Chain A
């Protein structure tokens, strides 16, 4: 059943009109013909039927409306002008109406009723019915209006409303929903039957319902078309309890039903979402710009700065708030400004949207403190709203430039060393300027050639062996002989390093060569000189040895030959004294004694001189010698030589020295005999031999409490034949200490003495500390 039919079936919607009984007396001026004229000229169709439902009156408007002449209609049942399906209801309505005392009323004013034209066409009508009793008959008069147009208009209106993409709600003065469209149904999740007739507040979130109510009141008081709640976020409440953001426009409408409010409700969830997305991406972008390590500066067409990020602040030492509005050229060193401006302008004119700015050559930035620094930049262009926006991204490349320069410097330095790289077949794949300098070939002359063939390399061992070593250890060092381009042969100290690829397979050989020809030459020269020197030394030694031998033979024969006569002098003097002593007086005997003493002295002298000579020329045979033991031996000999002497002799233990045993024996003999001799006049002689190590040498001392000596003459002590005492006081030849000195000096030590007349003397000698001989 259509809604129309539903409505029609609901029955007559009575609108009670004043139910005065109808006075059928006509006013006097209304004659029948005038009345008929009035009825006929009416715009509305007037049909009167009797209680049998037969048509009595059928005016002109009715003729037009139903397309039927009055002659046909009169006497016919009204049913012919009612669609079949409504006829029963309609007639019962009429009779029902008739039974009431009501005189007139509108017919189904709130629902659509239809008429039926003669040609079968149906059309909507608006009607009112009235009843009158006349002459005992009841007459029903129906006045009708063809409202097709209106209905059509209404329909169009409805369609329009329905088709609106926005939600449309019509609300009456009391806030009751009178009309909703499909969009509202969809947005809020209600079927219109669920909300039409309800208060508008059911679509409003609970928390704002009171306020909304107030608002409506205010609006009704001053209705004007405007958006609702400007500046506020508005929300609609769905049937399922969820909310969604909305935008609402209000317009007052007056309708036949009275003043209404037409509200357009737009679901702006998507827009809001889009807004959030946009805001988020804006924030993100701001974050990216803010956190970017590179400086980002945007300027407009006049070069005024509109964006200056954190990094730009740090780079230029200029706060961004201050930078905004300033000109970009402020941050460029003066000498670059003109070309920079040119560049930007040209760029602006091109169609290119971005490029790096390196093509200008090195560009520099100017900090707020006046310092300059090298930068790398890229520029991009953006057109927005008809205006050009330039964005420059800058990087401070001072550090990079420093590193680059350092690397370049390194490379320059490395290039000084002769370096070449060859593949595993010794073909040259890399040749630097150092190699060029050393060998004389340019890189293009050597690449792809075998290095060994090129250099005519002479190897110290077979190349296979060298290569094997290289592969095993990863490197090889050795000396090679290379021939330069000019034919000169050079000796090189070659260092090879094996280069492996990512899979650890040998790939290439790096070779660094040092020309050591000069060094070799120098070394050989040194060797040659050394050999020469050694030869000379050998020759000289041979000479010396010969001389020594001669000297030895000489001193041997000398000593022997000199001693014999002495012996004779002595012997015969003695013989004389013994055999003819009786006939000699004291003086004569005295002379003989002198002769004998003199000869004895000479003998001693000869011995001493011989010893001195021997000590000088004899070879020094160093070994570990126990000096304490040697000293003790000497002491016991002295004691046995003269057992009458009272003497305390202390010899320290453990005095070991690296020295010639025999020669040191002579030293100790001399020193101890001296001590023994010069203490001979003491009642109790005190002699001691000790040693101590100091500063890398050992100092030995022989101390006695004997006659001593005057320190003033200490420099004469060790001289040959020098004596500080006369022969009368103490016998001696004055050679003993010279011998001691000669021996100690040959050992690399020193001798010296301290003494005081009559208070004794101490003789010192030093020897370097014993060192274990190194074994080769």
Chain B
């Protein structure tokens, strides 16, 4: 039995709280694993470090990746994800407050599946989250695990 999980890579506690709330309000009940920075995210994905011993087959259904992260930033994480055979096809949605065009281009260049800006207005934030969740968890056909 495989559970659909969401990996949320987000350094900001408040943003984390709001995102989780938004997911809840969108009736998305999947488990959400939160990584605080790029290192944690990678450790989780590749079952190293803190997450040593975790089952590597247990991959998240969706990665919500913020760009501005301490230590290793979002794009580097993305690069690593796309660089490894095991995680190459993981759906990664860049979820960031940046609206710099360069970030957009670079994200897509590195193989992000989608790029969504975090709106300031919470309503919109909520809406965006809901749509994200519905699409990636329900509608979209992900690549088969394995």
A residues lining the B interface (CB < 8 Å): 556, 559-560, 563-564, 566-568, 570-575, 578, 596, 599-600, 603, 607
Contacts and interface: CB of A to CB of B under 8 A. Distances in A.
A572 B97 contact: no
Contact of B120 (A567, A572, A575, A578): A567
A444 B100 CA distance: 83
B108 interface: no
Given A560-B97, A566-B120, A596-B122, A572 B18 contact: yes
B51 interface: no
Given A556-B98, A560-B98, A567-B97, A573 B122 contact: yes
Contacts of A564: 12, 14-15, 97
A556 B122 contact: no
Name, among B18, B21, B122, B125, the residue most crowded by chain A CB atoms within 10 Å (CB to CB): B122
B42 to A, nearest CB: 22
A573 B122 CA distance: 9
Contacts of B122: 567, 570-571, 573-575, 596
Contacts of A574: 122-123, 126
A566 B68 CA distance: 16
A567 B125 CA distance: 9
Contacts of A571: 14, 18, 21, 122, 125
A575 B97 CA distance: 19
A681 B133 CA distance: 37
B120 A599 contact: yes
B3 interface: no
A603 B123 CA distance: 14
B114 interface: no
Given A560-B68, A574-B122, A603-B120, A567 B98 contact: no
B118 interface: yes
Interface string B112-125: 00000011111101
B120 to A, nearest CB: 4
B99 interface: yes
Contact of B14 (A559, A572, A596): A572
B140 to A, nearest CB: 24
Contacts of A600: 120-121
Contact of B18 (A559, A567, A599, A607): A567
A570 B123 CA distance: 9
Of all A-B residue pairs in the complex, the 10 with the closest CB atoms, nearest first, are A574-B122, A603-B120, A571-B18, A568-B14, A571-B122, A563-B97, A567-B120, A566-B120, A570-B122, A560-B98
Contacts of B25: 578
A567 B15 contact: yes
A579 to B, nearest CB: 9
B15 A568 contact: yes
Interface in B44-79: 68
B68 A575 contact: no
B98 A570 contact: no
A563 B68 contact: no
Given A567-B125, A571-B122, A578-B25, 19 more contacts: A559-B100, A560-B68, A560-B97, A563-B97, A564-B97, A566-B120, A567-B18, A567-B118, A567-B119, A568-B12, A568-B15, A568-B18, A570-B122, A572-B14, A572-B17, A572-B18, A574-B123, A599-B120, A607-B99
B47 to A, nearest CB: 31
A487 B44 CA distance: 87
Contacts of B121: 570, 596, 600, 603
Nearest to B21: A575
Interface residues of B, number: 20
A559 B18 CA distance: 20
B102 to A, nearest CB: 8
9 contacts: A559-B98, A559-B100, A560-B68, A564-B14, A567-B18, A567-B119, A571-B14, A575-B21, A575-B122
Nearest to A600: B121
Contacts of A607: 99
Nearest to A556: B100
Contacts of B119: 567
A687 to B, nearest CB: 26
Name, among A559, A573, A575, the residue most crowded by chain B CB atoms within 10 Å (CB to CB): A575
Nearest to B96: A560
A607 B119 CA distance: 12
Contacts of A560: 68, 97-98
B68 A570 contact: no
B66 to A, nearest CB: 10
Contacts of A559: 98-100
A560 B12 CA distance: 12
B97 to A, nearest CB: 5
A560 B103 CA distance: 12
Contacts of A603: 120-121
B36 to A, nearest CB: 15
Contact of A563 (B18, B21, B120, B126): B120
Interface string B1-29: 00000000000101101100100010000
Contacts of A596: 121-122
A516 B17 CA distance: 81
Contacts of B18: 567-568, 571-572, 575
Contacts of B14: 564, 567-568, 571-572
Contacts of A575: 18, 21, 122
A343 B7 CA distance: 134
Nearest to A606: B120
Nearest to A610: B99
A603 B118 CA distance: 12
Contacts of B17: 572
Contacts of A570: 120-122, 125
Contacts of B125: 567, 570-571
A655 B46 CA distance: 56
A568 B68 CA distance: 16
Contacts of B21: 571, 575
Nearest to B19: A571
B100 to A, nearest CB: 6
B13 to A, nearest CB: 9
Nearest to A662: B101
A599 B15 CA distance: 15
Nearest to A566: B120
B129 to A, nearest CB: 11
Nearest to A561: B68
Contacts of A573: 122
Contacts of A578: 25
A573 to B, nearest CB: 7
Nearest to B103: A556
Nearest to B122: A574
Contacts of B126: 574
Interface in B85-118: 97-100, 118
A578 B18 CA distance: 13
A560 B25 CA distance: 26
Contacts of B15: 564, 567-568
Contacts of A556: 98, 100
Contacts of A566: 120
Name, among B12, B17, B100, B120, the residue most crowded by chain A CB atoms within 10 Å (CB to CB): B120
A770 B80 CA distance: 48
Name, among B17, B18, B68, B121, the residue most crowded by chain A CB atoms within 10 Å (CB to CB): B121
Contacts of B100: 556, 559
Name, among A567, A572, A574, the residue most crowded by chain B CB atoms within 10 Å (CB to CB): A567
A614 to B, nearest CB: 10
Nearest to B22: A571
Contacts of A563: 97, 120
A556 B104 CA distance: 13
A566 B120 CA distance: 6
